[in-house]
Amino acid sequence: MKDFIDSIKARDLAARNAFQILLLYPGVQAYLWYKAANYLYKRGLRFLPEWIMYVVRSSLNIEIHPAAKIGKRLFIDHGTGLVIGATAVVGDDVTIYHGVTLGAVGKGAVPGAKRHPTVEDGVVIGAGAKILGDITLGKGCYVGANAVVRKDVPPGATAVGVPAVTKK
């Protein structure tokens, strides 16, 4: 837990201490509840983890499907309006701002197929960005605010605009 708190303090200059972060950061609360729900989901339970995340969505306005695969030290800054879909994969040390969607496109979806993005380690996703479909955001890349990304973004690149254009 200490490295989680320290990683948030390193990414958010307003973060003062563990007490403040745990009690006043809705993105942290949603992530911790997700971890509990995901644990139950991986053990074959469905209703209870989905209900836990329903309560999180209702109270914090952050929606994370309990089947999503999320790595260590995810920092959801502000968080309001965030959506992470069921087949999304999020790596370690990712920072996501409010209003972001890691969603599916819906066209040609096959039950059980991967429909949501893969976000590799160290990615930063700006406020309001929409990352849609089974695409990959490469390690350490940046996605600008309000970008709509429908194609892979290479490691270390920046994606901005609607539709997003990738720049090295």
**DSSP assignment string, 95-151:** EEETT-EEE---TT--TTS--S-EE-TT-EE-TT-EEESS-EE-TT-EE-TT-EE-S
Confidence of residue 167 (pLDDT cuts 50, 70, 90): confident
Q: Which of 65, 78, 98, 116 is catalytic?
A: 78
- Are the beta carbons of 133 and 108 closer than 8 angstroms? no
Which residues, other chains included, contact 41 with Cβ-Cβ below 8 Å and sequence gap of 6+?
49, 50, 66, 67
Which residues, other chains included, contact 37 with Cβ-Cβ below 8 Å and sequence gap of 6+?
48, 49, 50, 52, 53, 66
How high is the mean pLDDT of the chain?
Answer: 96
pLDDT of residue 1: 87
Q: What is the pTM of this model?
A: 0.95
pLDDT digits (tens, 9 = 90+) for 58-82: 999 999 999 999 999 999 999 999 9
Tell me if residue 98 is catalytic: no
